[in-house]
Amino acid sequence: EQPAVVMVVGAGRGPLVKAALRAAAGVGLAVRVYAVEKNDHAVVALRSLQRRTPEWESVIIVPGDMRSWAAPEGCDVLVSELLGSFSDNELSPECLDGAQRLLKPGGVSIPYRYESYLAPLMSTKLYNDVAGHGDVKHFETNYVVRIHAGVTLTDPQPCFSFEHPHPAYPVRYGTDPAEHAPPDNARYAAA
């Protein structure tokens, strides 16, 4: 029986590769894992980890961009963690829509769906910290903070959500990356 094919796209320094190997071992499943990463420094870390970790013998490290990689085979599971602090600020939708051509028919994308929520809040501390810069620019900047002293003014509301593969954008397994140009994110806009 052929091993299941897992592609970890945006593999970074390998935590999702480790998790995929651990999960497969936990259920006794043979896997071939492709770790696709475009950051040269992270690729060096992946190769170092592979050299010193016997469990990584089934891992194939691919330096490059998932959207343009011509994979030698399709995958059963496409895994990523490109969410960042605000769901899509690491280009998750653009990257995963570009990589969904790597999925075999019936393949699974993890994550499958994610959604960001927004809520206005009031925080004297945050206001004073930003006002201390003395310019408007800092008031127009997004901040990712853990609010210790603040009041949420309304319940959080959904801002946007993404699904992979996108139901209105068919998976075209095996298509040439040069011919596979996903449309812009307007398809995610509410009607």
Residues, the chain: 191
Closest to 21 measured CA to CA, from 56, 63, 62, 71: 56
Indicate the helix (H) or strand (E) that contains 56.
Answer: none
* CA 109 distance to own-chain centroid: 10
Active site residue 140: no
Task: Spot the catalytic one: 90, 94, 140, 163.
Answer: 90
Task: Spot the catalytic one: 81, 115, 140, 179.
Answer: 81
118: helix, coil or strand? strand
Active site residue 90: yes
CA distance 95 to 80: 10
- Active-site positions? 81, 90
